[in-house]
Amino acid sequence: MIVFVPAYDEATQSNFNLAQTFKFPSNFIILFEKQATRDNLLDFLKNTDLPLFAMSHGDTNILRAQDSQIALAIDDAFILEKRSAYIFACHTAVELGESVAKQGGIWWGYSDAINCYADEPFSLQLFADTFLLIYENFPQAQTQAEVQDLLEKIRQQCEEIQDQLNYQFYDNLAEDISISQMFGVITTFIHIWQRLRVWLPGLNQPEKHSHAPPPVLPWR
């Protein structure tokens, strides 16, 4: 797997802080901080068939690299042919994800803005466990049934964590945590599953969890 995590502002630095705690296998290609450039990413995408796991900023038609440079755009969709990608970044499941699916790739992205990883010590392991579930399983989900199965597992884990955090907060077991800190963390867990969209080749619409609400903005 290629792991792509730039770090150049508060949000991406928070993602990087989290990604550093992941226990990636030794055969993973790690592109962190200044190594998370377009040239490096394209080089590995062109020369391997490995899946891609990325955490960064995005828009409907681009994924960002280090220093807010473009990492991937619609014209690069062909490079992800027959490859799975999970992208923790805003909006990329709109145009970019659809373009990748038209080229035969599978794109796990987000339909709206998503709350970035909340860089709070009390939630670090909870997020690490959730992204572990995702990156260990998304490359194997190749059909609609397999995608829906993983979407449900992600929902269950996120909602179990939300219940756990609510219990700790309202029973005064988390005395040093403010309402804003807790709200930010819980919002991120909600977005992780509710705004996740999966483009599969041959579909006119992305897959989403059956309980996921429609996008906030007037696109998919």
pLDDT attached to residue 218: 56
Q: Does residue 212 sit within a domain?
A: no
pLDDT attached to residue 35: 98
pLDDT attached to residue 164: 87
Task: Report the number of secondary-structure helices (H) and strands (E) in the chain.
Answer: 6, 9
User: How far, in Å, CA of 3 to CA of 66, rounded?
Assistant: 13
Edge-to-edge strands, sheet with 52-55: 29-32, 2-5, 52-55, 84-88, 106-110, 196-199
Q: Does residue 211 sit within a domain?
A: no
Q: Does residue 39 sit within a domain?
A: yes
pLDDT attached to residue 117: 77
pLDDT attached to residue 215: 76
Q: Does residue 205 sit within a domain?
A: no
Tokens of residue 62, six digits: 């681009």
180: helix, strand or coil: helix
Task: Please give the average pLDDT of every successive group of 10 residues along the chain, which has 220 residues.
Answer: 97 94 93 98 97 97 98 97 96 96 97 85 91 97 98 97 81 64 89 97 94 71
37: helix, strand or coil: coil
pLDDT attached to residue 33: 97
Q: Does residue 102 sit within a domain?
A: yes
Q: Does residue 43 sit within a domain?
A: yes
Contact criterion met (CB below 8 Å) for 199 and 100: yes
Buried b / exposed e along 142-164 (16+ C-beta atoms within 10 A)? eeeeebbebbeebbebbeebbee
Count of domains forming the chain: 1
Q: Does residue 218 sit within a domain?
A: no
User: How far, in Å, CA of 126 to CA of 142, rounded?
Assistant: 26
Residue 96: CATH number of its domain: 3.40.50
pLDDT attached to residue 184: 86
pLDDT attached to residue 23: 87
pLDDT attached to residue 76: 97
Q: Does residue 15 sit within a domain?
A: yes
User: How far, in Å, CA of 47 to CA of 57, rounded?
Assistant: 25
pLDDT attached to residue 171: 61
pLDDT attached to residue 219: 55
Tokens of residue 4, six digits: 């792509």
Structural domain including 131 reads 2-199
